[in-house]
Amino acid sequence: MATLTLKNISKQYKNDDHATLRSIDLTVTDDDFLVLLGPSSCGKTTLLRMIAGLIAPTEGEIWIGDRNITDLPPQNRGIGMVFQNYALYPHMSIKKNLTFALEIARMKKEQREKEVERVSCILNIQNHLTKKPHMLSGGERQRVAMGRAMVMKSQLYLFDEPLSNLDEELRTKLRPEILHLFHQLHVPFVYVTHDQVDAMTMGTKIAVMNQGEIQQLASPEEIYHHPANMFVAEFVGSPKMNFIPVTAAISGDQKALVRYGEEELSLPQYNEILLADKQKDCILGIRPEDIHFTPVSEHMHFICCTLTRYEHLGSQILLYADFQGISLCISAPIHVRAKVGEKMTVYLDKQKVHLFDAETQVHL
């Protein structure tokens, strides 16, 4: 099976002082469902279109296996692409949409029929082959779009936010179908999205992008629990991570501490790092689910705060509290009761605390 390799890929448009992509190095194997995740204008779609051959890189090379495809036209790259807006031919039947590219490639009719049968059965659209696209639901049309990419038996599949136009119910149905397709085909998938639910539920690897650079490339679990910097920590997770500016210090018995106002918190896991710099400005990060109303373990530190508002989400409540001028979000069980303006004692799980350098925003 083929491996996709990007070597030092950069893109800068004329009359633009800032590069859209900067020095991207990436390898995607046939075991990888890679998700390019990031906000609008971060460069993820540009990178995908560059792999497809729709945009030429300013610098760098793109390889599939041992083939340098950097300068090849899209039709010669052996890539299947699924677009955001389906891109189906409205006047053609579903079967004709699936076979059109095969006809252009002059595949024999008997072989075309076999490919359509194979793909339509995998995607469960075999009963819609005589229909026109407008007769199908959004989810069915998206499956047809995937089928049109699949009939060519590509070495690599690219997905450009294919679920963004669908409602949440359809998105929930199609995510496992795309994942099932990945396991059946055993070829690399590269999937662009700004939706972290898509990324966390489908990706075996996530490349979090911002301002034309990959901020972190890792598994979903690693991205969530060990973010490389503050951008990743804030972008991945809903509700987002809480941040508190602190000053790191070393106590008299040579233990790591962080201070915010009169609060003092010991963090043994950062002891070695902070010993090298005895006075350092840091940002303490903690996720809403790691703040508790009872000391659930011995690794707890209590603080006092004041409830300012709350949001009911059915199975949980999000509490927003003021802690010495800092707004904290706390994810609490549905049975927790508190009134706006009421003082609360909550417990931070010290083992789940993250420390970031205040200047570079990199995780310590």
| CB contact at 8 A, 201 and 169 | no
> Which pLDDT tens digit goes with each residue over 300-357?
999 999 999 999 888 889 999 999 999 999 999 888 888 899 999 999 999 999 999 9
Q: What is the pLDDT of residues 39-97, one digit of tens each?
A: 999 999 999 999 999 999 999 999 999 999 999 999 899 898 888 877 788 999 999 99
Instruction: Check if 4-235 and 242-357 are the same fold.
Output: no
- Return the domain boundaries, the chain: 4-235, 242-357
Q: Report the C-alpha gap between 5 and 360 in whole angstroms.
A: 29
The token duo for 179 is 């994942």
Look up the CATH architecture of domain 242-357.
Beta Barrel (2.40)
Residue written as tokens 């903690």? Answer: 286
Closest CA to 232 of 267, 200, 277: 200
pTM of the shown model: 0.89
Q: Which of 74, 30, 66, 29 is nearest to 50 (CA)?
A: 74
Torsion of CA 292, 296, 299, 305, to 10 degrees: 30
CATH topology of domain 4-235: Rossmann fold (3.40.50)
